[in-house]
Amino acid sequence: GENVEQHPSTLSVQEGDSAVIKCTYSDSASNYFPWYKQELGKRPQLIIDIRSNVGEKKDQRIAVTLNKTAKHFSLHITETQPEDSAVYFCAAIQGGGGNKLTFGTGTQLKVEL
Amino acid sequence: GAVVSQHPSRVICKSGTSVKIECRSLDFQATTMFWYRQFPKQSLMLMATSNEGSKATYEQGVEKDKFLINHASLTLSTLTVTSAHPEDSSFYICSARDQGGRTGELFFGEGSRLTVL
């Protein structure tokens, strides 16, 4: 099955700096890669996603890049703010697996004032 | 966007009892729903795929007789934790995809925090 690895597990940045979270996946058939933000005790919220036919996607301060050849994708958050502090999960959908979503291990992002 | 509602949000039960958690898609039909379990400071782990009108598909290591899943309608899936024990205490989250939606985005319920005493 699909295996998604995520790094780093924790990330601390100063307000206004950029944050980068990286993920790798194993199944070359995976074709959809969403990123979720989860605040403590709450449901994951989709913040951005990318499909395998696109190399980069941007939405205001958030961007995602995808390298299909290397099977890795990254989340970039610019001009970080304290409210960006949360746990972020990358995920990949297994191409032939009935749309099962496999999550990365998560990154605890802390934006310090 | 589409809404998935989960109930109850919190439940505390005694060891040995059974607990039922409901997951509803409020404004779309979901032939497939997914149940995840999340332990503190860990990722979401898929437990099973719930299929409307047929048996659920369980992930390796998940006991189907302990975690009973019923998907009797296109808008409702239930997860029953039978004979719950303290090690079953966790955050359970359901999700469903709006197949008819533009993006096919996966929507999550609010989650249910189970505490087994």
How far apart are the CA of A104 and the nearest CA of chain B, in angstroms? 7
**Dist. CA A97–CA B7, nearest whole Å:** 28
Window from A60-64, A72-76, A92-96, B104-108 with minimum mean pLDDT: A92-96
How far apart are the CA of B45 and the nearest CA of chain A, in angstroms? 7
Confidence bin at A97 (pLDDT 50/70/90):
very low
Q: What is the pLDDT of residues A61-78, one digit of tens each?
A: 999 999 999 999 999 999
For residue B60, the chain A residue with the least C-alpha distance is: A1
Q: Does A99 touch chain B (CB under 8 A)?
A: yes
Provide residues of B within 8 Å CB-CB of chain A: 32, 34, 41-46, 49, 57, 91, 93, 95, 97, 103-106, 108-111, 113
**Dist. CA B51–CA B35, nearest whole Å:** 11
Please judge whether B49 and A102 are an interchain contact, meaning their C-beta atoms are less than 8 angstroms apart.
no
pLDDT of residue A101: 87
For residue B114, the chain A residue with the least C-alpha distance is: A41
Q: Please compute the mean of the pLDDT values over residues B53-72 and round it to a whole number.
A: 93
Q: Which residues of B touch A31 (CB under 8 A)?
A: none
How far apart are the CA of A18 and the nearest CA of chain B, in angstroms? 23
A positions 35-94 inside 8 Å of B (CB) = 41-44, 46, 49, 89
Please judge whether B111 and A42 are an interchain contact, meaning their C-beta atoms are less than 8 angstroms apart.
yes
Confidence bin at B29 (pLDDT 50/70/90):
confident
